Structure 1
Amino acid sequence: MLRLRNCLNRHYQVINNGTRLGMADLLIKLPRYDRVYFNWIEDVPDRRFGYLQIPLLLTVLICCKLSGKKVIWFVHNNLSHYKTNRLAKQVVRQLMRRFADVTLSHSRELDGREALHNLHCVDHPVEQAQLLPLPARPEWDLLIWGTVSPYKGVDRFAAYAAHQPALQNLRVHIAGRFASPVLEERIRSTAPGGWKIPGKTVSDEELTSLFRRSRYVLFCYAPGSVLSSAALCRSLSHGTTVIGPHTGCFKELSELGLIHTYRSFDELPALIAKLNAMKEPIDQAALQRYVAANGWDHFEQFLVERIG
């Protein structure tokens, strides 16, 4: 969020700061705004006094419409990652569909896109990182990294791999802390013996080292909800070979030949065997051209052109 704020501050005066008042703070400061940029607004019902925030959001949107203030809505996922307050979140999405002047997304797979004549898409910004050669025999076959939350599907993959002979012997490293002790215990109790699960946050230096010691980076998100992933872009910036679900930006990047995707875990054994037999699973030259063309400067220019 700080990087986004810095990008916008070069062209606009970003007025608001973090607040516990939510929509009330926005409504109080509304006369000072020319544009209102909504980011992760779908999760408002999960916040403090979430259900009370929805009528305040409607009030803000109506005031913006009547006063000519531009409403910008950045949609990150088709469904909230969290299963709580689903009906309220759908109400928020419908309000944003109705009132947003500009809708932005990192994927063209946005649900209901046929009704969004104002939809503009841009790839998630990628930061260039130093590329290091992959060792002849990587220490890990699969790296799964980032905070381990329910929506990321790591528990489902662990349970599947435990009963799939072709996956049981893979060396898998899970790098990241767990969102809850219950989830951690579920994964530890089902994961095959060759998995390493430190259960702690990794530093940038540790993550870079893991990228270089891992054959593939695996994402286990459940299809249908995820549109984009900052972790995916971080992985790409290091030149890693990524395997992910055939949905959202994963699907779009696979169509460019930059990553590999699967439609169900059942496809993973054959896909991994196929990649293992390839000398170059990814066209590194094409990947680096993509990284160079989709940095933060490109994203900043896109925002300025669409926000106006």
Structure 2
Amino acid sequence: MIRSLRSQLDARQQGKADAAIRKLKDNTEVLGIGPVPESLCAAIKERYLTAPLAWAVMVPVAVIQWLLFYRLMNNLLVDELPQHAPQWLVDDLTGKAPGSVTSGAAWIQFARDWVLGISYLLIMRRTMVYLAMTFNLRAFMFERVDRWADLIGECAEVVRAPSVHERHHHGPSLRFAILRVRGAAWSRGTVRSFDWQRRITLRRHAFRVVAALREARGEFVTDPKSAAKRLGELTLTISERYVDRRVDMLLDEGDIGEAGRSRPRGEALQLAISAVLLAVIALVASAFHLPVPITMAAVVITVAVVYRSAVAAGLGVLAALSPLFFPGK
């Protein structure tokens, strides 16, 4: 019975892989950027065939790791921290959530949750990369290829659109594709844990690749059809280079051009600036009893100024921070 279920599952995943490959080939043909490299087709196939096993491994590992992490952090805060920290800090860190989000305890607990959450995600990320490399779970590695294939499909929809209005309406979103570009180096398992110099080099290259994608996306305003072909071509190149483990050359210098020459702004710095400015707006709004529309308009304008062209990232930060600083609004 188990063998029969496994055969059915494999057949189902094989069907999904074939459909995804066929769709990608159709989209590249529409864009005129083919053919699709065989290595890319093989990566998509492995992504689907190893997906059930990857989920079967990831879920229990994530649960066990969370329980161990929670127990460790709880022991540190409850047992060890009182011996080395003032009592007021211990009370703020281990007490109940305060009623006001502008109190000192609220800020301390916000910082606590932020540090613990980021720490757990970083540990979990490294664990998944290790498992993927050790047990050949290609679903983790090649999930990014699937997302980039979706972007190529969105570009093809622009070309298929019969009118200019519909081409603007079907404009592709770079949000998920950009996130996959930024994390391409670590997910491919090509960087050692403490090779900081290489990490910095790859991070700079990823920023330049993201800038090139955004520049191509910006051309949709003037010529959607040509811009869709250009963006699809860049995405196909990124996918092929990623599969071939060339994460330090996802795009050639000629493809990046002038877009990647500006200095990157640290995302962590942008997030910190947004948090500080939203806190200031919250305090001012509370002190002067500003109407809700004016307060929220100031919040949106502030986030837009900080993130500028990276509006998708700004909206994510706005959605995450607004309930903390403006509860009930």
Q: Who wins on radius of gyration, i.e. which is larger?
A: 2
- Judge same fold: TM > 0.5, yes or no: no
Greater share of residues in strand: 1
Aligning the two structures, in what range does the TM-score lie when normalised by the shorter sequence?
Answer: under 0.3
TM-score w.r.t. the length of structure 1 is 0.25
* TM-score, structure 2 normalization: 0.24
